[in-house]
Structure formats: structure tokens, C-alpha cells
Structure 1
Amino acid sequence: MKSLRPVTMLQFILIISTFQISVAFLSIPRELARHAGTDGWMVIFLGWGLAALASIAIVKLMKYNPNSTILELIQRYIGVWAAKVASFIFMAYYLLLAYDGYMIASLVIKLWLLPSTYIYVLVLLLLIPTFQIAQHGFQAIGRYSEIVTMLSLWIPFIYVSTLSRAHWLYLLPLFKEGWFPVLSSIKFMIYPMLGIGLVLFLYPHLVNKEKALPAMIISNTLTCIVYLGITLICYVYFSPDEIGVYNDPVISIMKSIEFQFIERVEVVFIAFYLFVFSCIWIPSMYLVSRCSASLVGIGQERYHLAVWCIVIEISFFLYRPSFIESATINYTLNFIGFIMEFALPACVLLYVAIRKKRGRGKHT
């Protein structure tokens, strides 16, 4: 096996957390408000618990073969053809995630910043830095996540400044319609928590593997703190009747913020948030190229990455998506993401544990 470029604990945490926050940050207040009302912020705690359980299963699974990815683990315990099938499935899954990220980012840019620019032109501009970073693997992606986090530290202070016009009574009474809307809305926390599946490929690169589970818990906690903060701010700023109407309440709230040196804060926010957006498609495109190279068995990963970048660009040139298609893909990813990052690792863990217990596990 080729030598792995190490990833520090901080990079490990930030890769997962920025992947989760990247796209879902803009939509989570709206989605939770539409399905659970102003009690939607409680669903975030349930999402954190679900992600914590999945994190435990993933870490326990990867400990069976700590220096290999999920593909090599499947090949060892199930077989070569199973590994090929898994490569194809993971390739398709992360390609869909990358496509969804490009689609949402380009639609937001076109709506708020560059309405006259074609979407495929915007995607082309986003693909160029994607290739430059993703071709160097997880170590470069980890360093990029650190830079993005530092560049984004000013954003929370902007949102906190809106609390001067907050109406905290909008949150009362709690459980307006009972427990059912809160419990039934947990399915809408699957998409915002997608990213824990990165550990299936990232685990071998981690320097201190024994701290993988605490790092995942920290990462999920940071993500949920960000979700909880922006959700509560939107809920106390917009009335209960307004919050579900706005398509992008996280951006719309910035229209009320005024500074003497900046006229439109939302423009600056979107421009900077493009760095955060990229934290979903850069790791996804790298994993697409990695799974593609593993599936085909020939060619370097960077060549596969170049091919898939061209495929993404051609797809946006031939098909112009809208916010409706974006919402449809998001709902689809709730189901697919649950299977890929929550159910699949648990099933593979159960299978491997049974084989190990019966003493039939062996190296291929």
C-alpha cells in the first residue's frame, strides 16, 4: 500500500465539520421551521445523537483494519468483487454530493451576485481550484479546511449583532404541537450531518487513531453548535409565519445589517462563504477520483479527477438546474445519505464482527 500523507487531529475535525456545515448551513433553519415550527431547534439535538451513534459504528469498523480504507476492508472480509461494487457505489454517492454542492453554490451566486452569468461559467470557475487542491489528497484538504475556518471566524459576530432586534417570545410556547413534529423531523437532520462517512476513507491518514472517536464527537458538536446558533437567531428575528417563507433566511437576515463602510453585507458574506461551500465538493471530488481509480484499476487519481471535473462541467452546460431540482436532490440525499453513512457502516460492522468472532477473517 502506498504511503499515506498524515492528517492532524485538528485537520480531521475541521474536514468533517466544514463538510457538514458547507451547504446545510443556509437551509437548515428553513427546513426545520417548515416541518417542526419554532420547535425545530430541538431537532438538532436529536441529529447530534444520531450522528454520535453512527460515529461509534464507523470508528469500531475501521479499527478492524486501521491502515486501510473501507474499500480495502471490504475486499479483505467480503471479497474483491464486493470491493468493486462498493467503489462504484461510493463513487456515485460522492459524485452526487459534489454535484449538489456545485448546484447550490452556483444558484446562490447567480441569484444574489451575478444574475446575468451562466451557471456553467460559474461552475467552471469553481472547478479550477477544486482540481488544484483535491489532487493533493486529504493532507492538502485538511490544510485548506484550517484556512477556511480562520477566514470564517468573523461570520458569527455578524449574526450576533442582529440579536438587538430579536423577539425571544417567538420561541414560546415550547412544543406547540406536541412531540410528534419534533421527533418526525429528525429525518431532515440526515442531510446536515452528512460528512461522517469521510472517516471511512480518512481514518488511515489520521495521526492519532485512538482519538478518532473523540475527534468525531467534537466535530459533530461543533457542527450542531453552529446549526443551533443560526437556527435560534433566525427564529427570534423572523416571526413564526415568516421563517418558512424565505428561501434563504440565513442570507436574508443580513439585509437588515448596516455598516458605514459596507452597504450590502450579504454580498460580502456570499463571497466569503464560497470558501465554506467548497468544503463539500473538494473532498467529494477527491473521493470520486479515488474510487474511480480503484474501480478501474488503472491511471493515477489526478487523471481521474480531471476527467470527472470535465464531466461535471459538461453536465451543467447541457442541463440548467433550478432551486426546485436542488430541493429534490436534497430530499433524495436524506435517504441515500442515511443508507451510505449511517446504515451501511453499521451493517458492515455487524458482518465483520460476526466473521471475526467465528475466526474466518483472513487477508486476501
Structure 2
Amino acid sequence: MPNFKNNTITLTQFSLLIYGTQSGIGILSLPRDLAEIGDTSSWISLFIGYLISVIASIIIIQVMKKHPQDTIIQLFRRFFGKWLGSFFSVCWIGYTTLGMFLITVTSIFIINTWVLPKTAPYLILLIITIPSFYLARNGLRIISRFSVLVFFFTSWMAFLFMYPMFTGNLLNLLPIIKDGIMPIIKSVPNITFSFLGLELLFIIYPFLDDKSKAVKGVLIANGLTLLSYLVVTFSSFIYYGPYEVLEYVWPTLNLVKPIEFPFLERFEIIFLSFYLLILATTGIPYYFASSFSIAQLLGRKDHQLALFLILPILYVTFFFFTNSLANLDKLGSIFNKVGLGFAFILPVFLLGYGWLFRLFRRGKM
């Protein structure tokens, strides 16, 4: 059993850790994804996605409440036995490792495209993985402190995203619900994908020092994520309009290009340097979740060996992976579909299965 008492996290760390995991990568293309389906009214679906995300988070907490010292790996074995539980655990490990890989290659692509076009991708990969390894090695308390630091260190970026609102056209948001409710409903799946990260509650929950505040924590985290998405969506729609925004792969990054200073050229490079820290708050928790799950599956107290095992897999996979927009979209689509199962379907299944499990065992686990 891992020693959670010596590695607990506070409510603030808990909330900002989840928020960082959710908002890192989904925010990049969200305005374009919404405009493709829901047009000018697609921002309304953000509130629906928020509600679904909060419900899923609360369900995960209800599942974990019954066994507050267990992670998802231990729950799988408790509910399904050694062999079937191990199979589900391997699926979970594969998913979290995929999440880490997706965020890593996306970060490399952004750096190669916007900042260092002539730098070898493998060198960038090395630069990214070294600090990620050291943060993940020191446990969830250090990772959560890093998330809190990044949140306050990059909070000024929200005002930059809001700046285009004052130079754009508010009429781009009109008319509201011009094509009926169906485009809004069709936009909801894209929104739920953007709230992925909440599934790491299966790993994070046992580390929370005051578990009675877990629901409050997920409300804060999902609320911050919703606010961030509303800011970038409104800014993109107001500045570009719902049709021009479709011309950009990552409209969120393009929002800062019009910002100029007489003493500074290419401000977006400085902006991206800070934004990479936000991406790190998304990727590192998946790295930790993967290695920590491997350690629990193998019955080891220390997850450092698992951290070392993941790195060669990452390097070899990257060698055969062509880092292009098309492949990133395909990889992201796979991750989103699998994440939908782990974040929104699995909690409901475990809640019902756990109830039946305790019923047939007469409450004796």
C-alpha cells in the first residue's frame, strides 16, 4: 500500500491539479471544433459539458468514498479479481500513457512550428522529458505544487486572451440559436472531450487530505475550466467570427498574434514559452498516473522504476511516429474516444457494479 499520509495534497492543490490536467491541450482547438458544428451558438454547449463533467466527477468521488485508500488499480482487483482486474488495469495504464504521449508530441509540434523550426524534435523531446521525470518522481504533492505555481505564474495570460474582445465585433456572436437547438446538442461531445482529465480523480482522490471537500474541489476545478473555455471561445468568435475561425488549426494561439509592442517583436514566442508550462501541468499528471499505476499493478511501493520503463517506450514510439497535424488529429481522436469511456462511462458502471457487489457480499468486502 502506498503511503498517502506523507504525500497528501490540500484542497487548493487538488483543485488546480485537476484544472491544469483539463485545460492544457483541449483549449487549443476548442473554438474551431465548436464552430464546425454549432456555429455562433456553440458556446452554450460549454455549460452542458460543464454539467456533465461535474456529474461524472461527483460519481467518481462516490465510487472512491467506499474505499478511500484505494486507487483505480486496487478497485479493479477488488471488484473483478486478479486476472480480469489486471486486464482492466493494463487498459488504464495504456490510456494514461497515451495521454502523456499525445501531450508530449503536441508540445514538440508547437515548439517546432512556432518557436524552434530548425531544432531536432528528439532534442526537444529530451528537454521535455527530463524535468517531467524529476517532477513525477517526487510524487503527487510536488506535481500539485507545480500546478499551483504555474496557475498563478500564468494567470496574466487570461487578460491577453480577453484583449481581442475589445478589438473585434460583438455582432459576430449573433444571432443566438439561429439554427435551433440541435447544433448545440451536437457540439456537446466536443465539449466533454475538452473536460478530459477528471478521470485522474481515480488516482488523485486518495491523496486529498480532507476528502469531505472533494466535491468542492471538483466544482472549483471544473468551474475554472469552464471560465477558461468561455474566454477563449468568446474571444475567438468576436475577433475572427464563426467562419474565419475555421481557417486556423489552433485559433487560441493565433489570438495573441495581433498583440504588438514597440519594443518587442513576435510576442507570441514569449507567450508560447509560458503556455508550454500549462501543457506540462496536463502531461506530467498523466505521466505520474501511468507510472504509479504500473507500480501498484506490480505490487511495488516505489514508482520510480516504472518512470524509467516508460521513457524508452516513449522514445521508441516517437521514432516511428510522424509528428504531423494529421497524425496528431488521429491520435487525439483515439485518446478522446477512449477517454470518454474512462471519464464518463466507467464511473457510472463502477457505481452500479459496486452497489451490486456490496449487496451480494452483504457489505463485507
Choose 298-307 or 113-122, whichever is displaced more. 298-307
| Structure 2 unaligned regions, length at least 5 | none
Superposition pairs of residues 229-244 of structure 1, within 5 angstroms: 229-244=231-246
Choose 156-165 or 18-27, whichever is displaced more. 156-165
1-structure distance, mates of 2:242, 2:95: 35
| Structure 1 unaligned regions, length at least 5 | none
1:151 to 143, 150, 153: 153
Cα distance, 1:298 vs. partner? 5.3
Residue 12 of structure 1: aligned partner: 14
AA of the residue aligned to 1:315: T
Alignment deviations for residues 154-205 of structure 1 (CA, whole Å, 9 cap, x no partner):
1012122222212000010011221111101111112210111111111111
Residue 53 of structure 2: aligned partner: 51
RMSD of aligned residue pairs (Cα, Å): 1.5
Residue 25 of structure 2: aligned partner: 23
2-structure distance, mates of 1:321, 1:234: 26
1-structure distance, mates of 2:161, 2:184: 25
AA of the residue aligned to 1:158: L
Say whether the 8 Å CA contact 2:26–2:194 is kept in structure 1: yes
Using structure 2 for the length normalisation, give the TM-score: 0.96
Say whether the 8 Å CA contact 1:148–1:275 is kept in structure 2: yes
1-structure distance, mates of 2:157, 2:331: 27
Residue 87 of structure 2: aligned partner: 85
- State the identity %: 31
Residue 115 of structure 1: aligned partner: 117
AA of the residue aligned to 2:182: F
Using structure 1 for the length normalisation, give the TM-score: 0.96
Alignment deviations for residues 287-310 of structure 1 (CA, whole Å, 9 cap, x no partner):
111222233345841111012112
Say whether the 8 Å CA contact 1:119–1:316 is kept in structure 2: no
Cα distance, 1:361 vs. partner? 4.6
Cα distance, 1:29 vs. partner? 0.8
1:326 to 315, 325, 328: 328
Summarize the Cα distance change of 1:361–1:118 in structure 2 as closer, same or farther, 3 Å threshold: farther
Residue 184 of structure 2: aligned partner: 182
2-structure distance, mates of 1:359, 1:295: 24
Residue 288 of structure 2: aligned partner: 286
1-structure distance, mates of 2:301, 2:18: 28
Residue 209 of structure 1: aligned partner: 211
Cα distance, 1:128 vs. partner? 0.4
1-structure distance, mates of 2:363, 2:283: 35
1:2 is aligned to 2:2: yes
Say whether the 8 Å CA contact 1:119–1:320 is kept in structure 2: no
Cα distance, 1:104 vs. partner? 1.1
- Partner-residue secondary structure (3-state), 2:333: helix
Alignment deviations for residues 184-239 of structure 1 (CA, whole Å, 9 cap, x no partner):
11111122101111111111110110110121111101101100111001100002
1:199 is aligned to 2:201: yes
Say whether the 8 Å CA contact 1:38–1:235 is kept in structure 2: yes
Q: How many residues align?
A: 363
